[in-house]
């Protein structure tokens, strides 16, 4: 059975503020949630009340499985000064430790304009080797997310699972891996089984949404029995973030994936 973690930016918004969404998710039977930026520097616009969020997590026994790095990585912007990313990384790690969150999701941004792709990927390796050295001993894992450029993130550098795996192999740390998002991979037309086989044990986290549309499982055309079967066959047994835009009320939108996760 997979542990499912509703994204509280998108799900259980009917309950109100973020801490109330945690309680609503717990009341609906979930023991985990995920979120985007911890303070709202990038998204959402309104900063989170971290004390209230921690209280809700502790009160309900809910685990926070992942949060985003702030600021989101935009490494191509001249003069390629990454100091703000590294500075905020320390803050993000402190927040993750406060909230009991084991993972911070990072990205590639739009790359380094005018450079060959291989050079850009190697530069990402350097950036994240430095980041891992900086947070050494924290116990926090950085999960690198490739995203689709066909629909949601045009212009992003990292849009292929295999290239994220290349970067992760280059960083070469047990605290650095790949976030495999079933939705982004499907939109890019990837073969899920082949990508997971190529990633080996580097998958640090998984998220999902249906395609097309990025709604809840059952709203698009993906076969979720098949997808969860592929995931299990690949050896992944960690949590799965439900990062989708619901087309119906939150509790109803999770029905299919919860049913399938029980036997996956």
Helix (H, G, I), strand (E, B) or coil at 32: strand
> What CATH number did the domain enclosing 184 receive?
3.20.20.150
Express each pLDDT in 105-114 by its tens digit: 999 988 777 7
Tokens encoding 24: 């609503």
Q: Which domain holds residue 209?
A: 4-263
Tokens encoding 142: 């950085």
Please identify every residue annotated as catalytic: 145, 243
Strands (E), 209-249: 240-242
pLDDT on residue 75: 64
The residues facing 33 across adjacent strands are 64
Mean pLDDT calculated for residue range 156-160 = 94
pLDDT score of 83 more than 60: yes
pLDDT averaged over the chain? 94
Percent of all residues in the chain with a pLDDT value above 70, rounded to a whole number: 95
Those residues with Cβ within 8 angstroms of residue 236's Cβ, 6 or more apart along the chain or in another chain:
180, 196, 203, 206
Tokens encoding 232: 């299990």
Closest C-alpha among 45, 46, 7 to residue 239? 7
Find the angle CA(234)-CA(239)-CA(173) to the nearest 5 degrees.
70
Mean pLDDT calculated for residue range 185-209 = 98
CA distance 132 to 171: 8
* Number of structural domains the chain divides into: 1
């Amino acid at each position: 059975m997979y542990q499912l973690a509703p994204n509280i930016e998108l799900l259980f918004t009917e309950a109100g503020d973020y801490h109330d969404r945690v309680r609503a998710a717990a009341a609906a039977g979930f023991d985990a949630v995920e979120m985007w930026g911890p303070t709202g520097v990038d998204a959402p616009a309104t900063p989170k009340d971290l004390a209230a969020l921690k209280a809700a997590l502790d009160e309900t026994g809910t685990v926070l499985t992942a949060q985003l790095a702030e600021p989101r990585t935009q490494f191509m912007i001249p003069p390629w000064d990454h100091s703000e990313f590294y500075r905020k990384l320390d803050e993000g790690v402190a927040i993750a430790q406060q909230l009991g969150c084991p993972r911070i999701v990072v990205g590639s941004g739009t790359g380094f304009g005018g450079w060959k792709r291989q050079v850009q990927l190697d530069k990402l390796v350097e950036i994240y080797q430095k980041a891992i050295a900086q947070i050494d001993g924290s116990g926090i894992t950085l999960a690198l997310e490739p995203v689709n450029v066909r629909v949601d993130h045009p212009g992003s550098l990292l849009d292929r699972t295999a290239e994220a795996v290349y970067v992760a192999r280059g960083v070469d740390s047990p605290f650095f891996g790949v976030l495999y998002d079933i939705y982004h991979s499907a939109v890019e037309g990837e073969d899920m089984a082949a990508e997971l086989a190529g990633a080996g044990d580097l998958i640090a986290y998984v998220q999902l949404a249906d395609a097309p549309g990025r709604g809840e499982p059952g709203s698009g055309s993906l076969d979720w029995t098949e997808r969860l079967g592929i995931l299990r066959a690949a050896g992944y047994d960690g949590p799965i973030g439900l990062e989708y835009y619901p087309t119906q009320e939150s509790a109803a939108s999770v029905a299919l994936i919860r049913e399938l996760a029980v036997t996956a």
